[in-house]
Amino acid sequence: MTAHHFVGEGGYSERLRLAAGDAEGLLAQVSAEVDAAGLQVMAEQAVPFPGGGATLVWVLAESHLVLHLWPEEDHATLDLHICDYRSENEARARRLRDALDGFCFAPGSSAWTELAVGSRRLVGA
């Protein structure tokens, strides 16, 4: 099986900062980005933590997306895993990664790693 796995981190974008206080709204905004990339949300959940942090999870038909928020550090991380089980999803995975980069991270603050999964080679190593 081939899959596309991206891990990103960076400082909050202004859009994320505005959305972070409303977990339901943030779930909806990111779900819209998933849909726009041509992927499908099956379930979603937000778990808040004391101090304003949160972990948000989207179970996708193609795998998953997890967003961790650390407002006290002005920092967020993303874990995006998209499988090619029934169709070639590389372009969709990259489109979603790029959309989430702009939505979640301040310009110039993000760092992404692409991890090897299945028959794919590690990119950027």
Q: Whole-model pTM?
A: 0.90
C-alpha distances out from residue 43 to 62, 65, 71, 107, 118, Å: 12, 11, 24, 29, 25
83 in catalytic set: yes
The pLDDT, as a whole number, for residue 1 is 66
**Annotated catalytic residue: which of 4, 81, 83, 104?**
83
Distance, in Å, from the CA atom of 107 to the CA atom of 122, rounded to the nearest integer, reads 25
Is the confidence at residue 50, as pLDDT, over 70? yes
**Annotated catalytic residue: which of 63, 81, 104, 110?**
63
**30 or 117, higher pLDDT:** 30
Is the confidence at residue 107, as pLDDT, over 50? yes
* CA angle centred on 36, ends 98 and 42, rounded to 5°: 105
104 in catalytic set: no
68 in catalytic set: yes
**CATH architecture group of domain 3-115:** 4-Layer Sandwich (3.60)
